[in-house]
């Protein structure tokens, strides 16, 4: 699972470099309607969702192993 999270973070870094803004700024601007929905932005938004899901699952797994 950590490999999947690492790959997703790499993709987010690529988007941030390509578009010159952090993922947080991208998400804020997209939600505020400041950015048009493009294929690339849809991909970026999906990667953000995947990163959150994988991080949550990884944390849950870590907690289960400790408990």
Give the model's pLDDT for residue 1.
Answer: 56
- Give the whole-angstrom CA distance, residue 29 versus residue 35: 6
Return the DSSP state at 21. S
Q: List pLDDT tens digits, range 13-60.
A: 999 999 999 999 999 999 999 999 999 999 999 999 999 999 998 888
Residue 59 structure tokens? 């944390």
**Is the CB of residue 52 less than 8 Å from the CB of residue 12?**
no
């Amino acid at each position: 699972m950590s490999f999947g999270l690492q790959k997703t973070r790499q993709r987010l870094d690529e988007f941030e470099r390509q578009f010159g803004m952090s993922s947080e700024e991208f998400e804020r601007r997209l939600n505020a309607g400041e950015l048009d929905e493009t294929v690339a932005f849809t991909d970026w938004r999906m990667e953000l969702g995947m990163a959150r899901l994988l991080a949550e699952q990884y944390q849950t797994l870590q907690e289960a192993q400790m408990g």
